[in-house]
């Protein structure tokens, strides 16, 4: 799993924690403040750097300086409140940190100083993030950005731009995050009196480029970061830069460079006694050995990180250490211990409500459980990951539609302004005409002619504008029903279509062809196997090419009358309204073979792709009562996960139900595999070419395997 980057360094499995914001908080929040005649302000700045690495000692110094701050200038007093908040938070005293931040906000408001108030909001946002109150933390950052919009304090503006960028990254809005971080770096270059600002901004930018897999740009920014760090002559800052170098190296496939950077960082941190940084670097070392499948050493470093983070009360890094320890234990065969540690770590991720991180952790959790044979646990993890994936996909889709709507509204307003301007011009012309009528009667005919021409032109322009509005309306309607990448229908359109269908009537006899074959509808749900590996290895552009290829293959394999839907990130759904019942398995086979037989040429790579499929006739009718379409799709989704858990590159189909009076639909939906083994569900499996593992009960000389009888044997 990709690591997360922050001001301290890189920690496994998380894009960013509060440490990112704190890294900036420890930059001079009041860089460019007026010089204090006494030595108080320089001593506060010294304590700021001390707080970066040994916060307990810095807190003692800052508390001692409080007695000298009464008559100091506002900028100096504000910086003292800010550093008290930061140092208390780093020392694990969040209540005291919050009190100092609130005092700073009140101080700024009493002076009617928006810059000081914005700094207070930033300090409070860091404490909220450390408490896992992520949404409230983001809101504080956005409020601070509004207050500081017109500030002449370049250091403050750079800090806020970078922190807002990191907040957008946590929310999954990476384009906005990149714009903010690039602006933050540009602003930091103008802060000539403190190079630490540029260090923090560059560090955040390298981490974001790495997360986006823009490794060339990340490498260029890293070179500048290391060059600026050398100028600071700070062992602590160099340790941070080395952790950032580790993040880029491990993600771009340079394990030796990554390990060397980590060990250099750990040596610097231990010499300084920076325990909080040590805990993070130890968890990164654990991650490094996990990638090499050296599970004993990964567990050793994860345990060391746990002991360190428990001393510093760093809950976020402790959670990541537990996830690493859980994966190491699973790799060593200590399944119960591994699951316990993994779940404990993910509980913190859920508390922080950081959906992208939790999704990545669940995906790895499912793969790890699948490797050790815990298929039920793997399916459960995949279901949890799927729910988050669908939620994030829907948010991104809604965001795209909103952006298009905003653009449309802006263009509409501009056209209205133009029309109003033209109307004003006409009115002015009419006034001039009246004056001309009074003075020069012989020009009356000419004036009327000119007015007619103007009206005609305006009429034509209005007609043209209305035509353009109609085109835009059609474009907007298409955007709301089609997926922009694949040009397939989107989930919302399918849901609206199914809600508009008349529910099936069990009292009506089923239609039959002249051959006597049953005619049914069918649902197919497919998921790309190991899609994350394609994105990780070749980049998201290659992943997009794969999705387009699958969409095209589905158009070829299915009919024009069939509805094909981009269901989620790498999921597709097909609804076939009328096919012979005996042909459902054959269509599943056609989908599997059609996709696996194609290879994508991307740059110099050739990428082969398989899919797993769940399918069923529609409607599904247990006990003479048709299932609603939502429950039918859910059952097909469970069949899909059986296909993934039993080896991938295959399709599992729900044919029907048996002995339904002895069970219930709720029990079947709770555990489809157990219901099949108990003989309540009739399944079939269709194998793709060269599947990874054989099905549970294969029939010889066939790639379509009926599972009904095998289920009875397995169940008893």
Q: Are residues 710 and 569 in the same domain?
A: yes
Per-residue model confidence (pLDDT) at position 411: 63
- Domain final position from 432, 455, 481: 481
How far is CA 2 from each of CA 239, 361, 364, 521, 565, rounded to the nearest angstrom?
20, 10, 10, 42, 30
Q: How confident is the model at residue 433 (pLDDT cuts 50, 70, 90)?
A: low
**Are 184 and 161 contacting, i.e. CB atoms less than 8 angstroms apart?**
yes
Q: Are residues 607 and 666 in the same domain?
A: yes
Q: How far is CA 702 from the centre of its chain?
A: 42
Backbone angles phi, psi at 297, to 5 degrees: -70, -35
Domain-embedded: residue 525: yes
Q: Are residues 618 and 665 in the same domain?
A: yes
Domain-embedded: residue 303: no
Give residue-wise pLDDT tens across range 590-606: 999 999 988 888 888 88
Q: Are residues 518 and 632 in the same domain?
A: yes
Per-residue model confidence (pLDDT) at position 509: 45
Q: Are residues 521 and 663 in the same domain?
A: yes
Q: Are residues 572 and 431 in the same domain?
A: no
> 290: closest CA among 252, 265, 259?
259
Q: Domain limits at 661?
A: 489-715
Using the structure block, give the residue that is written with the tokens 């993030």.
129
Domain-embedded: residue 357: no
Query: CATH no. for residue 110?
Result: 1.25.40.10
Q: What's the rounded Cα separation, in Å, for the pair 276 and 255?
A: 24
Q: How many Cα atoms are found within 13 Å in the side-chain-facing hemisphere of 107? A: 22
Q: Are residues 597 and 471 in the same domain?
A: no
Per-residue model confidence (pLDDT) at position 421: 67
Per-residue model confidence (pLDDT) at position 450: 74
- Domain final position from 481, 507, 535: 481
Q: Are residues 465 and 494 in the same domain?
A: no
Q: Are residues 468 and 616 in the same domain?
A: no
3-state secondary structure of 5: strand
Domain-embedded: residue 278: no
Domain-embedded: residue 283: no
> 263: closest CA among 312, 234, 225, 301?
301
Give residue-wise pLDDT tens across range 207-262: 999 988 899 999 999 999 999 999 888 888 899 999 999 989 988 889 889 989 99
**Are 330 and 339 contacting, i.e. CB atoms less than 8 angstroms apart?**
yes
Per-residue model confidence (pLDDT) at position 715: 33
Query: CATH no. for residue 582?
Result: 3.30.70.270
Domain-embedded: residue 247: no
Q: What's the rounded Cα separation, in Å, for the pair 164 and 143?
A: 10
Q: Are residues 462 and 503 in the same domain?
A: no
Give residue-wise pLDDT tens across range 525-571: 999 999 988 988 888 888 999 999 999 999 988 988 899 999 888 99
Q: Are residues 658 and 570 in the same domain?
A: yes
Q: What's the rounded Cα separation, in Å, for the pair 105 and 121?
A: 7
Domain-embedded: residue 59: yes
Q: What's the rounded Cα separation, in Å, for the pair 705 and 686?
A: 6
- Domain final position from 118, 133, 148: 133
Q: Are residues 470 and 502 in the same domain?
A: no
Q: How many domains does the chain have?
A: 3
Per-residue model confidence (pLDDT) at position 712: 33
How far is CA 480 from each of CA 34, 395, 397, 493, 544, rounded to the nearest angstrom?
54, 13, 9, 8, 20
CA atoms 73, 78, 80, 81: torsion sign: positive
Give residue-wise pLDDT tens across range 449-498: 676 676 667 767 767 666 666 656 555 555 678 888 988 999 889 988 88
Total H helices, total E strands in the chain: 28, 12
Domain-embedded: residue 259: no
């Amino acid at each position: 799993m990709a690591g997360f980057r922050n001001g301290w360094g890189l920690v496994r499995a998380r894009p960013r924690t509060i440490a990112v914001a704190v890294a900036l908080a420890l930059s001079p929040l009041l860089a460019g403040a007026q010089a204090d005649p006494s030595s108080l302000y320089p001593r506060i700045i010294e304590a700021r750097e001390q707080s970066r690495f040994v916060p307990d000692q810095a807190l003692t110094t800052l508390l001692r300086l409080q007695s000298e701050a009464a008559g100091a200038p506002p900028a100096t007093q504000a910086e003292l409140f800010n550093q008290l908040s930061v140092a208390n938070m780093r020392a694990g005293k969040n209540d005291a940190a919050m009190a100092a931040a609130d005092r700073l906000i009140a101080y700024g408001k009493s002076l009617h100083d928006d810059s000081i108030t914005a700094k207070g909001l930033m300090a409070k946002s860091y404490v909220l993030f450390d408490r896992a109150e992520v949404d409230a933390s983001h809101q504080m950052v956005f409020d601070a950005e509004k207050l500081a919009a017109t500030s002449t304090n370049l250091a403050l503006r750079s800090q806020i731009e970078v922190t807002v960028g990191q907040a957008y990254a946590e929310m999954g809005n990476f384009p906005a995050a990149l714009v903010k971080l690039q602006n933050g770096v540009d602003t930091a270059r103008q802060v000539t009196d403190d190079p630490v600002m540029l260090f923090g901004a560059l560090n955040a930018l390298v981490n974001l480029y790495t997360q986006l897999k823009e490794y060339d740009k990340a490498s260029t920014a890293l070179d500048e970061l290391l060059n600026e760090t050398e100028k600071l002559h700070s062992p602590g800052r160099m340790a941070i830069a080395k952790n950032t170098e580790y993040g880029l190296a491990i993600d771009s496939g340079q394990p030796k460079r990554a390990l060397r950077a980590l060990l250099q960082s750990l040596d610097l941190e231990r010499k300084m006694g920076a325990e909080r940084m040590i805990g993070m670097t130890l968890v990164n070392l654990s991650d490094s050995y996990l990638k090499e499948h050296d599970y004993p050493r990964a567990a050793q470093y994860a345990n060391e990180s746990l002991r360190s983070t428990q001393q510093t009360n760093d809950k976020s890094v402790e959670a990541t250490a537990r996830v690493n320890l859980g994966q190491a234990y699973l790799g060593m065969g200590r399944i119960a211990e591994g699951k316990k540690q993994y779940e404990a770590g993910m509980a913190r991720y859920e508390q922080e409500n950081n959906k992208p991180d939790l999704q990545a952790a669940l995906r790895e959790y499912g793969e790890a459980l699948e490797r050790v044979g815990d298929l039920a646990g793997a399916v459960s993890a995949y279901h949890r990951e799927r729910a988050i994936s669908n939620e994030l996909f829907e948010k991104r889709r809604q965001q795209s539609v909103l952006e298009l709507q905003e653009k449309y509204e802006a263009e509409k307003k501009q056209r209205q302004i133009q029309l109003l301007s033209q109307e004003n011009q006409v009115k002015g012309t009419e006034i001039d005409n009246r004056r001309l009528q009074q003075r020069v009667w012989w020009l009356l005919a000419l004036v009327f002619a000119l007015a007619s021409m103007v009206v005609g032109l305006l009429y034509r322009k209005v007609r043209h504008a209305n035509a353009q509005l109609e085109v835009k309306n059609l474009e907007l309607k298409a955007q709301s029903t089609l997926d922009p990448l694949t040009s397939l229908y989107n989930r919302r359109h399918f849901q609206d279509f199914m809600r508009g269908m008349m529910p099936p009537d069990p009292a009506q006899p089923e239609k039959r062809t002249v051959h006597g074959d049953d005619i049914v509808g069918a649902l197919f749900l497919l998921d790309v196997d190991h899609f994350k590996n394609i994105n990780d290895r070749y980049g998201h552009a290659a992943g997009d090419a794969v999705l387009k290829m699958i969409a095209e293959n589905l158009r070829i394999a299915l009919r024009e009358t069939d509805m094909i839907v981009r269901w989620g990130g790498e999921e597709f759904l097909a609804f076939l309204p009328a096919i012979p019942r005996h042909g459902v398995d054959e269509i599943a086979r056609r989908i599997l073979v059609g996709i696996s037989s194609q290879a994508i040429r991307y740059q110099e790579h050739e990428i082969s792709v398989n899919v797993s499929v769940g399918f069923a006739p529609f409607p599904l009718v247990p006990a003479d009562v048709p299932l609603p379409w939502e429950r039918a799709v859910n059952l097909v989704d469970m069949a899909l996960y059986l296909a993934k858990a039993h080896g991938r590159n295959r399709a599992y189909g729900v044919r029907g139900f048996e002995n339904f009076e002895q069970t219930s639909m709720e029990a079947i939906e709770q555990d489809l595999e157990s219901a099949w083994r108990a003989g309540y569900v009739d399944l079939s499996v269709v194998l793709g070419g060269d599947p990874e593992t054989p099905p549970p009960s294969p029939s010889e000389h066939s790639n379509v395997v009926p599972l009904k009888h095998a289920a009875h044997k397995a169940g008893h």
